[in-house]
Structure 1
């Protein structure tokens, strides 16, 4: 009797283990970038947030004055949330940074713990008239390296910075060939997350290379400001097919 009971118990245990194993991929899939925080809910942050909500994401918009985001959240419904930058960083499996570039040093300092190991989609551009000394640093060291410095500990991928937000609004989800979006980063898994986010927003991601390659499509570079298909963009930026 004891032997039969033990066999039954063992079979039940094995079945439970199998069911748990089968459940794990589904859990991982449900957590994979389906919640995104956005720091800076202006033109680019608002545009991409709308596209991701349309694609089924939960989106946490943020600013220093989150009460001003209530109309946007009310308009977009239950998948939209609003709060502080720290709230958005904590909420998202990935975070889009879409604030003036001069804010990066303070943003990084204030949110160092929250940004550690976080996938950060860096959409900012440095503008001389607005960003002052930080612009000079970008000119000297490159925008990828400068973002990595100020967002220390984050897994930074440059994306969604190579065109005006109106271009993204116009071309999101268009029929083939879709508009291509260049991305660059050092972390392979972060790049995969960025690829997913770009595709789900309605574009074709083109991995250009590591963060240093982001200079090839930074504002003011020959690779900036193009509405091209993936093959055309690869040719423009010298990316091997």
Structure 2
């Protein structure tokens, strides 16, 4: 009698399925494997948007390092969100994350790129900033004219960039997450399809529906001044307004 005949058929099928699943998981890229068990997310700029997403992603089971120029001020937030959330500097957040969220005033983005792009090289980076002339000065107008997706890619060389969480008001990110019925849509633009798929997962984990509109050049369609900017629209409304998306 061989060893296989001593194993209960149901147990044998479960073992085979587990081995197959493990083999499939082992074949995935590192970030995709991490996503199956919770991502390590570094957040550079834990303000109204970064702080809200930190709370939503912590509840979804991700491990976070939240940062700002004054990390001790984030200690109450980290303590409230639980043991999988720690505080640190922007440099530590850039190094920590499998995925990095950059949520800073747009005028600070060039400096973030100069300081931390090497640490984020090859990583998926979600970037939320919007250039505003009254706040960011003369750099804002040419960025808006060209389109933020293309400009941000130059400020953050070597990263796998996704423009995300840029057009939904921060108050709606907090009040409309995981709402009943059709979810609020979050437009996404990226040239890297694997990075885009990971961003879709993080949008869903935060309690919204992703609407992928295309490459980084299409991010201009939801920039400041566009018909969808600053509005909490359902995914269906957003697709109609942007002329497509998936």
SS of residue paired to 1:234: helix
Q: Is the 8 A contact 2:45 2:67 kept in 1?
A: yes
**Structure number with larger C-alpha Rg:** 1
**Could you tell which deviates more after superposition, 122-131 or 66-75?**
66-75
1:203 to 205, 208, 212: 208
Mapping of 1:11-90 within 5 angstroms?
22=22, 25=25, 30-32=33-35, 34-90=39-95
For the 8 Å contact 1:101–1:134, the answer to whether it is kept is: no
Map 1:103-142 to 2 at 5 A: 103-142=108-147
* CA RMSD after TM alignment: 2.0
* Match of residue 163 from structure 1: 168
Aligned partner of residue 206 in structure 1, secondary structure: strand
Structure 2: distance between partners of 1:224 and 1:20 = 45
The residue matched to 2:100 in structure 1 has which SS?
strand
d(CA) in 2 for partners of 1:143 and 1:112? 17
Residue aligned with 2:104, SS? coil
Q: Within 2, Cα distance between the matches of 1:160 and 1:83?
A: 23
Distance 2:143 2:94 in 1: 24
- The corresponding residue for 1:225 is 230
Distance in 2 (alpha carbons) for counterparts of 1:61 and 1:81: 6
Farther off after superposition, 29-38 or 187-196: 29-38
1:64 Cα deviation after fit: 1.5
Q: How many residues align?
A: 224
Aligned 8 A contact 2:184 2:208 in 1: yes
| Residue of structure 2 equivalent to 1:11 | none
How many Å apart are 1:119 and its aligned residue?
0.6
Task: For structure 1, list consecutive stretches of 5 or more residues without a partner in the other structure.
Answer: 1-17
- Structure 2 distance, partners of 1:240, 1:161, is 16
| Deviation string, structure 1 residues 109-168 (Cα, Å, up to 9, x no partner) | 011211211111011111111111220231232111110010111111111010211011
Q: Post-superposition shift, 1:21? A: 8.4
Of 195, 215, 218, which aligns to 1:213? 218
Tell whether the 8 Å contact from 1:157 to 1:190 is kept in structure 2 after alignment.
Answer: yes
Superposed displacement of residue 30, structure 1? 4.8
Instruction: Measure the CA separation in 1 of the matches of 2:175 and 2:117.
Output: 35
Q: Return the TM-score normalized by structure 2.
A: 0.85
Contact 2:169 2:232 in 1 (8 A): no
Contact 1:137–1:146, Cα closer than 8 Å, also in 2: no
